[in-house]
Every structure is written in structure tokens, then in C-alpha cells.
Amino acid sequence: MKMTRRFLGAAAIAFVSATGMAQAAEVKIALVVKSLGNGFFEAANKGAEEAAKEIGGVKIIYTGPTSTTAEGQIEVINSLIAQGVDAIAISANDPDAVVPALKKAAQRGIKVISWDSGVAPAGRILHLNPSSNELIGKMCLKLAADHLPDGKGDFAILSATTTSTNQNIWIEEMKKQLKDFPGLNLVTTVYGDDLADKSYREANGLLTSKPNVKVIVAPTTVGVLAASQAVKDAGKIGQVYVTGLGLPSEMAGAIKSGATKEFAIWNPIDLGYSATQIAYHLVKGDATGKPGTSVPAGRMGSIKVGEGGEAAMAEPFVYDAKNIDQFSKIF
């Protein structure tokens, strides 16, 4: 009887030990988003789950505040520290306010990266940008050329405000790379201030004052939608096309009307997938995330880390009639 009890006791200890080891082997990666209930981030979570399934032994904790506040994210981060997660991948509501909480996480051995919306370098190992300024500029020119016969003709840019940092950088990149698109002629740049009504008026102004313009490129989701509507209302579908950066849910009508043939924006599924892959390899220690190194990212290839710990995932993803229905349901 005593031997039986000893045997059972030893078996129970072995079972508990094995279970504990199995649990310890599971890598817990927290995907912290700006706010819950956002289609873009829910799509990113699909990508994260895809990566977790592909890698194996990875648990995704999809979380975030109910509203887009730094305070809400700080509460979430402190909770994740208490849970003992292995990595935090965050799209930040404020680049600086979350740094102290993320530093505390790092001190506990948690690997921290930011993605989509960055964290100041002091609070993370690296930041994953959806794309790079250079790639965004190149894609906008490619989209313009794709809308023109033989890639030749006049186009105009409809931007946000004159002081919009990212818009101005992308426009400068477009101008810089025009030499690679000899058939394209940039006529003018107008500004809709990221207001739907003003963007619509500016687009209408282009249609009347610049009759040779065959493509309007709007690297702003407000502008590209407003310009598409202006072309439709003016009865110029097939004569003038609109393209640029937009959200599939908003641009589905423009694609179906023919005002836009294709547009681009980063794919949130790929973004969540890549962030998870990077976080996993940092936890495993087969990547450091230091500038000048690369991190494996599964089907997205190898992602190079540049100065300041900044990395770019890929060129913007193109949406057209073939995939608009699929993605318009997501974001």
C-alpha cells in the first residue's frame, strides 16, 4: 500500500511538473491596440493569430482600452506585467506617456515593440512601420501610372493640410522619384485640409481648371474618398480617375462605380502577423532588433531594422475590384 501511494505520489508530481513545463514553454504575446472595437485592429489580430498558429506554442492576448487614451493603455500594460507575458506589441495612443510603464515591463524581462503607431525609442526595442516614406511615394506614382494609358499623362495631388508632416514627406518622395516614371507629369498640388467638404471642392476645382489632368492622387483617406465622389458627381468616370491611400470600407463604392480602379493602404492582417513574428523571435533570442540587423517574419520575409530601431514591413497593399469585397468587411 505504501509503495502504491509512493508511486501515485511520484506520478502526480511528474504530471504536475510536465504540465508546468508545458505551460512555461508557451510564449505569451500581448497585442495592445489603441482601442477595442476597431476593425483595423481586429484585422491585425487575425494576422497575429495566424502567426501564432504557424509558429506553434504561442498564445495571443488581444487587448486594449475602450477609448483611445494613453491612460487606458497604461492600465492595460500594468495588467500584462502582472500576468507575466513574454512580449508586448503595442500601437500607442501617445508615444511618450506609455514609456514609463513599458520600461517597467522591460525591467521584468518582457520584450517590447511598437507597431503602426510608434513608441519613443526609450520605451521599446524596435518600431514596425507599416511601410516606409520611400515605398509610399513610389506606390502613389505607380498607382497614377496604372490609371493612365501607357503610364503617360498629367496628374494632380490632393493632399491634407499644407503643414501635414507625413503628407508633405510622401509628396516630396513622389517628386523625388518622378524621374523613374518619365511618362508622368505632375501639374499641381492642392490642399483639402483633411476636411471632406473642402477636399470635394478642391477636387471639383481641378476638374474644371485643369482639364488635362487624368488622375488625382490623394495620399489621405479623406481626400481620396472626396475626390472619387467629385468625379462621380461630375459625370467624369472613365475620363478622370482617383487613386491614393484609402480604407477599403470607405472606397468600395468608388471601386464599384469605376471612379477608382485601385488604391493602396497597409494590410492590417500582415501588420499583426509581422508584429507577432518579430515579438516571438525577440523572446526566443534568435533576433536582437538592433539597428543593422534583421528579424525573421515568416511569409513576410526578413525585416531589416534601421536607424533608431525603425523597421518597415512592406510597400502598401493594393486594393481593387478583385479583393475589395473581402477587405471592405474588415476595415
HEC letters along the chain: CHHHHHHHHHHHHHHHHHHHHHHHHCEEEEEECCCCCCHHHHHHHHHHHHHHHHHCCEEEEEECCCCCCHHHHHHHHHHHHHHCCCEEEECCCCCCCCHHHHHHHHHCCCEEEEECCCCCHHHCCEEEECCCHHHHHHHHHHHHHHCCHHHCEEEEEEECCCCCHHHHHHHHHHHHHHHHCCCEEEEEEEECCCCHHHHHHHHHHHHHHCCCEEEEEECCHHHHHHHHHHHHHCCCCCCCEEEEECCHHHHHHHHHHCCCCEEEECCHHHHHHHHHHHHHHHHHCCCCCCCCCEEECHHHCEEEECHHHEEECCCCEEEECCCHHHHHCCC
What Å distances lie between residue 159 and 164, 203, 219, CA to CA? 9, 10, 6
| Statement to judge: residues 148 and 209 lie in one domain | yes
Query: Which range marks the domain in which residue 240 is found?
Result: 133-265
Stretch 276-304: mean pLDDT, rounded? 97
Stretch 305-330: mean pLDDT, rounded? 95
Residue that has been written with the C-alpha cell 497585442 in this structure:
31
Band of residue 18 on the pLDDT scale cut at 50, 70, 90: very low
* Side-chain-side CA neighbours of residue 22 (13 Å): 6
| Statement to judge: residues 273 and 248 lie in one domain | no
| Statement to judge: residues 97 and 197 lie in one domain | no
Stretch 124-153: mean pLDDT, rounded? 96
**Better-scored residue on pLDDT, 12 or 118:** 118
Residue 22, pLDDT > 50, answer no
Band of residue 25 on the pLDDT scale cut at 50, 70, 90: confident
Residue that has been written with the C-alpha cell 518579430 in this structure:
278
End-to-end CA distance of the chain: 65
| Statement to judge: residues 139 and 258 lie in one domain | yes
Residue 88 in any domain: the answer is yes
CATH of the domain at 157: 3.40.50.2300
| Statement to judge: residues 258 and 152 lie in one domain | yes
Q: How many structural domains are present in the chain?
A: 2
Residue 208, pLDDT > 60, answer yes
Residue 184 in any domain: the answer is yes
Residue 324 in any domain: the answer is no
Residue 21, pLDDT > 50, answer no
Residue 305, pLDDT > 70, answer yes
| Statement to judge: residues 253 and 291 lie in one domain | no
Residue 277, pLDDT > 90, answer yes
| Statement to judge: residues 14 and 54 lie in one domain | yes
Residue 280, pLDDT > 50, answer yes
Task: Flag the least confident range among 44-48, 164-168, 276-280.
Answer: 164-168
**pLDDT at position 17:** 46
Task: Flag the least confident range among 144-153, 159-168, 259-268.
Answer: 159-168
Residue 176, pLDDT > 80, answer yes
Stretch 286-314: mean pLDDT, rounded? 97
| Statement to judge: residues 36 and 159 lie in one domain | no
Residue 40 in any domain: the answer is yes
Residue 321 in any domain: the answer is no
Residue 23, pLDDT > 90, answer no
Residue 304 in any domain: the answer is yes
Answer yes or no: are the C-beta atoms of 181 and 151 closer than 8 Å: yes
Q: What percent of the chain stands above pLDDT 70?
A: 93
Q: Decide which of 231, 250, 265 is a domain's last residue.
A: 265
| Statement to judge: residues 302 and 244 lie in one domain | no
**pLDDT at position 330:** 83
| Statement to judge: residues 31 and 106 lie in one domain | yes
C-alpha cell at 158: 490632393
Q: Whole-number mean pLDDT of the chain?
A: 92
Residue 331 in any domain: the answer is no
Band of residue 122 on the pLDDT scale cut at 50, 70, 90: very high
What whole-number distance in Å separates Cα of residue 219 and Cα of residue 221? 7
| Statement to judge: residues 236 and 252 lie in one domain | yes
Residue 3, pLDDT > 70, answer no
Residue 160 in any domain: the answer is yes
Q: What angle do CA 203, 209, 210 make, to 5 degrees?
A: 80
**pLDDT at position 257:** 96
**pLDDT at position 221:** 87
**pLDDT at position 40:** 85
| Statement to judge: residues 67 and 102 lie in one domain | yes
